Amino acid sequence: MAIAWIRDVDEAFRRARESGKAVLADFSAAPT
């Protein structure tokens, strides 16, 4: 099982507003 990362920044903030959670933004250079 892995973290279900969101790739769309606007979607992430929309979900944050809906859920009351903070956004954890992971800036990465690792192969995807």
Partner 1 sequence: MIRFVEQHFVPLKIHVREQPQLFERFGARWTPTQLILDESGEEHYRIEGFLPKDDLLAKLEMGLGKLAFERQRFDDAQRTFHDVEMQHPASGAAPEALYWEGVAAYKSSNDAARLQDTARHLSQRYPESEWTRRASVWAKPASRVASR
Q: Which residues bind partner 1 (CB under 8 A)?
A: 1-7, 9, 12-13, 15-17, 19-30, 32
Answer yes or no: are the C-beta atoms of 19 and 13 closer than 8 Å: no
| Least gap, CB of 31 to partner 1 (angstroms) | 9
Compute CA distances 24 → 20, 21, 27, 29, whole Å.
13, 9, 10, 16
| Least gap, CB of 27 to partner 1 (angstroms) | 4
Q: Give residue 20's identity as a one-letter amino acid code.
A: G
| Least gap, CB of 11 to partner 1 (angstroms) | 8
